[in-house]
């Protein structure tokens, strides 16, 4: 008997993802990659971090920086986040905030705290595949979240009960979502709040890309709309997941959760048992850099990524055959491409890597039901405009051939 044979049943739902395997390709020389949903490292505020880490390790704070610390997270950083949340219509206190090791960890913890095997999670078809990976460990059933109000709460609740559980939460990224790039309008958000209220479930708002808007009007976050309805975060079902990964640095692994205190208190206990706390020094450095440059740095990112988005949309307009369509995101890092029904994104990727050296992510992995074979995700965040133009021209050429 090997140890693999005695793994818990949940382990069978932990499988290698396509994105992970693709990340290994990014180093291949000459490859044009629209695959990774990662920020451009040339835009990291590296010298500011160098100063902040040096300050954190100065004689006054080095003992705190290197020692064990509380599970809630570094208080000045939580207080800074309180200020940022207030700016987007979310009045709250530091007790409403938990620091996590990136928002990926928040998704894992939220799956852990809400999902018993057989419970239902509502997710978009497609949705962020890392969310599916995080939730899978807790063996949920998925149902398709539609934010247009077309499907009634009773229908969701009944099917969840038939499957032996209940709807525990709806999950979505409402702004420039990974993978579609799409934004849910205010009417859709209100409809979603109605739905989760009727279901008595939580609503997980993944705000990973929220501050990366390139044009158009900001739509209020789901949490701010719910607070506007109810007057107080303590009465809210929305759980907001933020991160510095798309703005300051992903590698330092600092994100946060904002929610009513009973949810945060339970997540703090969960984090204490799971990894004690996120690294103290990283939180101190993130706080210093955020306090100094956040708004200006985000403006720099917006200017850079806006140009790349524009370049990619222009190239798609110019080079794609007529039977291919795509989204026009107002922010974020992704454009979602729909190929003719009979085509397969994964097969296209294999051909593309072999014949033209262009990488992207096949869309099927983002669908909890395994559909979406004729979709692909393009990221414009890590390529310059000339690469974007060249890569899309090649991809358009390949699509005309196959």
Residues 192-211 contacting its own copies, CB under 8 A: 200-202
The answer to whether 396 touches 321, Cβ cutoff 8 Å, is: yes
Cβ atoms of 286 and 364 closer than 8 Å:
no
Asked if residues 256 and 242 have their Cβ atoms less than 8 Å apart, the reply is: yes
Are the CB atoms for 303 and 79 separated by under 8 Å? Answer: no
How many residues line the site for its own copies (CB under 8 A)? 88
Q: Judged by CB under 8 A, which stretch of 3-11, 82-90, 170-178, 222-230 contacts its own copies?
A: 3-11
Subset of residues 355 to 394 that bind its own copies, contact rule: CB under 8 A = none
The pattern of x and - marking residues 272 through 301 that bind its own copies according to CB under 8 A reads: xxxxxxxxxxx-------------------
Coil, strand, or helix at residue 239?
Answer: strand
Nearer to its own copies, 53 or 125 (CB): 53
Whether 252 and 48 have beta carbons less than 8 Å apart is answered as no
Burial call 15-50: b when 16+ CB within 10 Å, e when fewer: eeebbeebeeeeeeeeebbbbbbbbbeebbbeebbe
For position 252 contacting its own copies by CB under 8 A, the verdict is: yes
Return the residue of 62, 155, 162, 325 that touches its own copies, per CB under 8 A. Answer: 62
**9 contacts its own copies (rule: CB under 8 A):** yes
Among 28, 41, 93, 159, binds its own copies (CB under 8 A): 41
* Residue 257 beta carbon to its own copies: minimum distance, rounded to whole angstroms: 13
Least gap, CB of 94 to its own copies (angstroms): 15
- Surface-to-core class of residue 234, CB atoms within 10 Å of its CB (0-12 exposed, 13-18 middle, 19+ buried): middle
Residues 19 and 129: their CA atoms lie apart, in Å, by 9
Choose which of 18, 97, 119, 183 interacts with its own copies (CB under 8 A). 119
- To its own copies, the closest distance from the beta carbon of 366 in angstroms equals 15
| Residues between 134 and 153 with contacts to its own copies, criterion CB under 8 A | 134, 136-138
Q: In 3-state terms, what secondary structure has residue 340?
A: coil
Of these, 270, 298, 314, 343, which contacts its own copies (CB under 8 A)?
270
């Amino acid at each position: 008997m090997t140890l693999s044979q005695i793994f818990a049943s949940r382990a069978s739902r932990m499988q290698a993802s396509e994105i992970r395997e693709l990340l290994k390709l990014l180093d291949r020389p000459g490859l044009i990659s629209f695959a990774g949903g990662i920020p451009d490292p040339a835009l990291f505020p590296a010298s500011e971090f160098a100063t902040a880490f040096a300050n954190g390790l100065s004689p006054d704070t080095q003992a705190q920086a290197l020692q064990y610390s509380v599970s809630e997270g570094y208080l000045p950083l939580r207080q800074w986040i309180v200020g940022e949340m207030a700016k987007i219509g979310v009045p709250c206190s530091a007790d409403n905030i938990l620091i996590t090791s990136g928002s990926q960890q928040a998704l894992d913890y939220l799956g852990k705290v809400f999902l018993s095997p057989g419970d239902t999670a509502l997710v978009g078809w497609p949705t962020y595949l890392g969310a599916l990976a995080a939730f899978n460990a807790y063996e949920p059933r998925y149902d398709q979240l539609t934010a247009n109000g077309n499907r009634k709460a009773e229908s969701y609740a009944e099917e969840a009960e038939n499957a032996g559980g209940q709807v525990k939460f709806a999950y979505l990224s409402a702004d420039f979502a990974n993978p579609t790039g799409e934004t849910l309008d205010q009417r859709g958000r209100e409809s979603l709040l109605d739905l989760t209220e009727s279901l008595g479930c939580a609503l997980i708002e993944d705000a990973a890309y929220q501050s990366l808007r390139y044009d158009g009007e900001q739509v209020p976050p789901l949490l701010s709309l719910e607070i506007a309805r109810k007057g107080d975060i303590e009465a809210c079902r929305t759980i907001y997941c933020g991160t510095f990964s798309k703005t300051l640095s992903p590698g330092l692994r600092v994100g946060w959760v904002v929610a009513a205190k009973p949810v945060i208190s339970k997540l703090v206990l969960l984090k204490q048992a799971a990894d004690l706390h996120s690294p103290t020094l990283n939180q101190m450095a993130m706080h210093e850099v955020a306090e100094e440059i956040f708004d200006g740095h985000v403006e720099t990112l917006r200017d850079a990524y806006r140009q790349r988005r524009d370049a990619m949309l222009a190239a798609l307009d110019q080079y794609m055959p007529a039977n291919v369509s795509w989204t026009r995101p107002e922010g974020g890092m992704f454009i979602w491409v729909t190929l003719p029904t009979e085509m397969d994104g994964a097969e296209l990727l294999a051909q593309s890597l072999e014949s033209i050296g262009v990488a992207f992510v096949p869309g099927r992995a983002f669908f909890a039901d395994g559909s979406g074979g004729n979709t692909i995700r393009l990221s414009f965040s890590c390529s310059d405009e000339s690469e974007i133009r060249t890569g899309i021209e090649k991809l358009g050429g390949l699509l005309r051939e196959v």
